[in-house]
Amino acid sequence: MTVPHTLSCNEIVEMVTDYLEGDLDQPTAAALEEHLRLCPGCDRYVDQIRETVSTLGSITSESLSPQAQSDLLEAFRTFKRPPS
């Protein structure tokens, strides 16, 4: 993958999951990390996503009330993606 010298904030948002999962090649990860050093908004965004993944990863279905489980399932069933 050829990586532009600088990445845009939109590209950071699109890559954050791959970055946090360690799935980016080294040049792309380095470009992303350079952007994070220069952009406090994206740095904060990546930290928030990292924290969200960490927090939600510790929730088990057994720890949710039956009502919460039902509400979540309904939300997923009725979710509609915005048009792209």
In DSSP notation, 22-79 reads T-S-HHHHHHHHHHHHH-HHHHHHHHHHHHHHHHHTT--GGGS-HHHHHHHHHHHHH-
What are the extents of the domains in the chain?
A: 9-78
Find out if CATH 1.10.10 is the number for domain 9-78.
Answer: yes
The SS3 call for residue 3 is coil
pLDDT of res. 42: 97
pLDDT tens figures, 14-69: 999 999 999 999 999 999 999 999 999 999 999 999 999 998 888 888 888 999 99
b/e string for 11-48 if b means 16 or more Cβ within 10 A?
bbeebbeebeeeebeeebbebbeebbeebeebeebbee
